[in-house]
Chain A
Amino acid sequence: MDVFTLSLWALRIGFVLLIYAFFVVVARALWRDLRAGVAGAGRPLARLLVVGSPEGRPQAGTSIALDAVNSLGRDVNNSIVLDDSFVSADHALLTFRGRAWYVEDRGSTNGTWLNGQRVEGMAPLGYGDEVQIGQVRMRLERARPE
């Protein structure tokens, strides 16, 4: 058995083993995600506080926990259902992108309003800003009071 044959086989087996090395690196990443996920589980990114809702669905004073992407509208498939007569079925999208929140109108009839101004396309918003959808007024707040 000569050196060349042995090294050729080392290369061949090394090639396959390196694919498994890829799995090991992936598994390590997953394991870290898992631990981070457990540590941060259940903590919402922010809250929407309902400050005004004449029809009472949802009631004023309700605090809604937010995910990274939240769809708002009257349809039951939305992550936040606003059962107000002036809200469209799929009304708006509230997303957290990196370090800022954005609100996006989804072609609603009555529009999405940010601090009293109608939102065209996508608009950034900060904590304390007020979003109005139909007759429902909501304020973006931090998840934990600081």
Chain B
Amino acid sequence: MSALDPNERRLTRALYRAGIRPHFRWRELRLLLVVAICLTVGWVSLESFRQGQIAIGDAALLAVYLVALGVIHVAFVVTGRRMDQILFPTAGLLAGISLLVMNRLPQNLVVQQVGGMELPLGPLQLVWILLGFSLLAAIAIFVRSDGWLRRYKYTWAAAGIALLLLVFVFGSVVGGARLTLHIGPFSGQPSELLKVILVVFLAGYLAENRALLSSGTTRVGTFTLPPLPYLLPMLAMWGIALAIVIVQRDLGAALLYFLVFLGLLYVATRRAMYVLYGIILFLVGGALLYVLFTHVQDRINIWIDPFADPQGAGYQVIRALYAFGRGGILGTGLGAGLPSVGDVPSIPAIHTDFVFAAIAEEMGMLGALAVLGLYLVIAERGFRIAAAAADDFRALLATGLTLVIVVQAAIIAGGNLRVLPLTGVTLPFISYGGSSLLVNGAVIGLLLALSDRGVEAPPPGVRPNAVVRAAQRARAVGGRIEEALS
């Protein structure tokens, strides 16, 4: 920072005169450049294969996306936020790969009417990515205090449960699971939003009580249990969320919530015993669910032997395995995999649950490993932010948000690879889906906001205006609700 080059100094001076205090992000710019080159090469390889000659085709989608990345970068610079510089390009690369894959899949998989225009899969995904990234940028730029998350944890928890109940009552059933909520023309999957709410609640609760949780004990016979009174509200929250999720048959979300819960509990208390109890709890619960619910049995049976019913229950999983096999080490190349019979893709739900198989087929093991590596980069940055966070709430929040993305990616990739039973969650930033992209954008946005080392001193003379006063009033009301709930 100390060694400004002459150009930068000149630019800085000009911006300062205009009342703007920029903070340059050369590292981010460099990474975004690599992303742009990478995606362009990918795009050309796809179009060349399609046209049988070296061509770039109609690259409007790619151009719009790359410009959007640039605009967000400039916005970060101009607002002078001193945030992490690696997270955003990483998310940008993941979403860019998504754009390539969605553009390559049969476009009629999803078609939606948007204001008189018919948008097929590729452009639709671009719209969602842009919305998700706008949310990311907005949160990263405008969120300066975590008080609104920290203070109202019970309100958040209540809102989350209300959201789930809403789905339970009004949700529509898609593919055997009651996941989708329709409000007017909009539809979405609230379980995506709930995961963030859960993390906020857990981070708040654990940060407040972790001193007691990690030192106090309750003795039951020879077992040393955590101090029960402090664990109960949290267990209840977890139990309710889990139960509803199971009623909704959303096993993937249940697994995700549970793993994130265990991870946060461990980080907050640093007691391996809690994790052990959690795993025992999980095994008992899993066995119970297996006995009680046929859809759980089906999932497990398919996992153990998908070839038992290759044309029925095991169809998707087997088709995914074929895709992995076809890919090999180098992959078939973008556009060259997936012999769709007619216009039907070889794997159902290839744009959502099985997008990892599609990537592994066309980009090979090398490409699939690279995608996994990108999630690990997110993990590294997230944990760094957590480690550098000055207070427990921020540290736990950063850890939880990171886990939500990284664990979810592992769950669905594991499901595709038959390392785990298949559960329907999205591959963050890559699977098609508006809810997923918006929420994951928000998660990265929050992580960026948490990584903020402070803005440059704002230009002087800022007085509370009407908006600020309104916000203060809203805070007072929120405080009262919170008091009533806790």
Contacts and interface: CB of A to CB of B under 8 A. Distances in A.
Contacts of B147: 106
B85 interface: yes
Nearest to A3: B54
Interface stretch (A4-12, A108-116, A135-143): A4-12
Interface residues of B, number: 61
B464 A121 contact: yes
A98 B211 contact: no
Interface in A90-110: 95-100, 102, 104, 106-107
Nearest to B391: A71
A19 B390 contact: no
B109 interface: no
A26 B377 CA distance: 8
B35 A95 contact: no
B366 interface: yes
A21 B373 CA distance: 12
A58 B473 CA distance: 35
Contact of B54 (A7, A12, A23, A29): A7
A79 B390 contact: yes
Nearest to B380: A30
A97 B45 contact: no
B389 A14 contact: no
A74 to B, nearest CB: 13
A19 B145 contact: no
Contact of B44 (A11, A26, A69, A76): A11
A120 B27 CA distance: 37
Contact of B457 (A8, A18, A98, A106): A98
Contacts, number: 133
A18 B389 contact: no
Contact of A8 (B27, B45, B367, B456): B45
Contacts of B211: 76-77
Given A15-B334, A77-B392, A21 B38 contact: yes
B35 A77 contact: no
A13 interface: yes
B48 interface: yes
A10 B330 CA distance: 11
B52 A14 contact: no
A7 B44 CA distance: 11
Interface in B42-88: 42, 44-45, 48-49, 52-54, 80, 82, 85-86
Given A70-B390, A71-B391, A106-B147, A97 B455 contact: yes
A98 B455 contact: yes
A7 B82 CA distance: 42
Contacts of A41: none
B210 A77 contact: yes
Nearest to A70: B390
A43 B477 CA distance: 41
A63 interface: no
Interface in B451-482: 452-457, 464, 468, 472, 479
A79 B367 contact: no
Nearest to B464: A121
Given A4-B52, A20-B370, A77-B210, A15 B391 contact: no
Contacts of A12: 45, 330-331, 333-334
Nearest to A22: B34
Contacts of A102: 454
A98 B453 contact: yes
A78 interface: yes
Given A77-B207, A97-B453, A99-B457, A68 B45 contact: no
Contacts of A18: 34, 37-38, 41-42
Contacts of B42: 15, 18
A9 B44 CA distance: 11
26 contacts: A11-B45, A12-B45, A15-B363, A16-B363, A16-B364, A18-B34, A19-B38, A19-B367, A19-B371, A22-B31, A23-B373, A26-B86, A26-B377, A29-B31, A67-B390, A69-B389, A69-B390, A75-B208, A76-B211, A77-B207, A77-B208, A79-B390, A79-B391, A96-B454, A97-B453, A97-B456
Listed from nearest, the 7 A-B pairs whose CB atoms lie closest are A97-B454, A69-B390, A18-B38, A11-B45, A12-B333, A19-B370, A15-B42
Interface of A: 4, 7-9, 11-16, 18-23, 25-26, 29-30, 67-71, 75-79, 95-100, 102, 104, 106-107, 120-121, 124
Given A21-B38, A30-B380, A68-B453, 18 more contacts: A11-B41, A12-B331, A16-B330, A16-B363, A16-B364, A18-B41, A19-B373, A21-B34, A22-B31, A22-B374, A26-B31, A77-B207, A79-B390, A96-B453, A96-B454, A98-B453, A98-B455, A124-B457
